Amino acid sequence: MSVFVIASFCFLVTSLLSLIRIIIGPTAQDRLVGLNLIVPQVVAIMVLMAINFNRTIYLDVALVYAILGFISIIAITKYLKGKKLHE
């Protein structure tokens, strides 16, 4: 059990906390905040895992991940912006 595995485990546990926000968030924006917080934690786990596996190629996944989390959030907010909230 190396230190990287323990650290990534900690990040996983903290991302469980942000899952709660997705569950209870009263508005859609609150849920988006939860999503927005999950992305960097998962990137952190991925980077730690890549160091643990000791291969550079794994880091490409983290890069794709960082880019695409951004795009999905932009897509959802673009829809939210156009309309009044129902809640």
Partner 1 sequence: MSFYLIVAIFMVGIWGLIAKDNLIKKIIGLNILNSGIVLFFVYIGSFQGTTAPIMEKGIKDVVDPIPQALMLTAIVIGICLTALALALVLKLYQKYKTLSISQIEKMSKDE
Partner 2 sequence: MERSQIVTMVSRKLVPFILLFGLYLISYGHLSPGGGFQGGVVLASGILLLFLSHGFTLVQRSFPERHLNLTELVMVLLFLLLGLAGLLLGKSFLSNILLLGEAGEIPSAGFILLLNMIIGLKVGAGITLICFYLFRS
Partner 3 sequence: MLEIILLIILVLAILSLQFKDLLSAIISLAAFSFMLSLLFYYLHAPDVAIAEAAVGAGVTTILFVLVISRTKRRER
For residue 81, the partner it binds in partner 2, partner 1, partner 3, none, with Cβ less than 5 to 8 A by kind, is partner 2
From partner 1, partner 3, partner 2, none, interface partner of 12 (C-beta below 5 to 8 A by class): partner 3
**Per CB under 8 A, 4 contacts partner 2:** no
- Choice from 13, 53, 68, 80 touching partner 1 (CB under 8 A): 53
Phi-psi region of 38 (alpha: psi -120 to 50; beta: other; left: phi over 0): alpha
CA-to-CA distance for 48 and 61, rounded, in angstroms?
12
Work out how close the CB of 19 gets to partner 3 at its nearest, in angstroms, rounded to a whole number. Answer: 6
Q: Among positive and negative, which fits the CA dihedral 23, 43, 29, 10?
A: positive
